[in-house]
Amino acid sequence: MRNVIEVKHPLVQHHLVRLRDKRTEPEEFRHIVDRLSVLISYEAAKDLVTHAVDVETPLATAPGKRIQQQVALVPILRAGLGMVDPVLNLIPFAQVWHLGFYRDENTHEPVEYYKKLPESEPVDVAIVLDPMLATGGSAVAALKAVNEWGVASVKLVSMIASPEGIQRVHAEYPETQIYVCAIDDKLNENAFIVPGLGDAGDRIFNAHPVT
């Protein structure tokens, strides 16, 4: 699929097994989210634009490259918060802005409850963070907000996606690059990804202990 990158690196696939496992406790689950966030964001950042620089080492002058673009991380609350710190460690100069949605359990559509984007000039690249791309409702709402901000290049980074979610995102924002660890089979009647991993936010924050 165009603009969909399923990262099949052995380390990604190895850690994804433990992330899915219902027996994985919240503390370990958070550590795995950290690892996968770094691995997949490394892929998402591979086309950031750089410029040439010289740096003085203790012995001589060495040529190098620095990223010249302004980057923003935009986590979708609440589960996206679990991805911020590891990606920020990878891109420490990035700005961080937040968007909050909860799911209406009747319609399965997102309801916005928080939006924090600046009124200043937009960054060059925005990376939207959300572990699960299920129906695509929250992702589309987030992409709408970021595009209205005026960001030229927008990427969506998730752990697991459904075919339905990818289709919905690209129906409205076909140029958005989607990076995922896995594309699963389908959504069930409750709009959860199958086989998936359950509710990522609950598992990250131990809101409902996994049994």
Give tens-digit pLDDT for 118-127.
988 999 999 9
Q: How many helices (H) and strands (E) does the chain have?
A: 6, 15
Residue 40 near residue 157, CB atoms below 8 Å: yes
The answer to whether residue 63 sits within a structural domain is no
CATH number at residue 13: 3.40.50.2020
User: Can you give the pLDDT at residue 211?
Assistant: 46
Domain that holds residue 170: 4-47+68-205
Is 57 part of a structural domain of the chain? no
The pLDDT value given to residue 64: 97
Q: Is residue 56 part of a domain?
A: no
107 catalytic per annotation = yes
Considering its fold, how many domains does the chain have in total? Answer: 1
Residue 81 lies in a domain: yes
pLDDT digits (tens, 9 = 90+) for 161-174: 999 999 999 999 99
Quick: pLDDT tens for 53-83: 999 999 999 999 999 999 999 999 989 999 9
24 among known catalytic residues: no
| Annotation marks residue 103 as catalytic | yes
Helices (H), the chain: 10-20, 26-44, 81-90, 137-149, 163-172, 200-205
Please give the average per-residue pLDDT across 71-98, as a whole number: 95
Q: Does a structural domain hold residue 126?
A: yes
In the predicted model, is pLDDT for residue 93 greater than 80? yes
50, 202, 203, 211: the catalytic one is 202
pLDDT bucket at 210, cuts 50 / 70 / 90: very low
Average of per-residue pLDDT across 199-206? 91
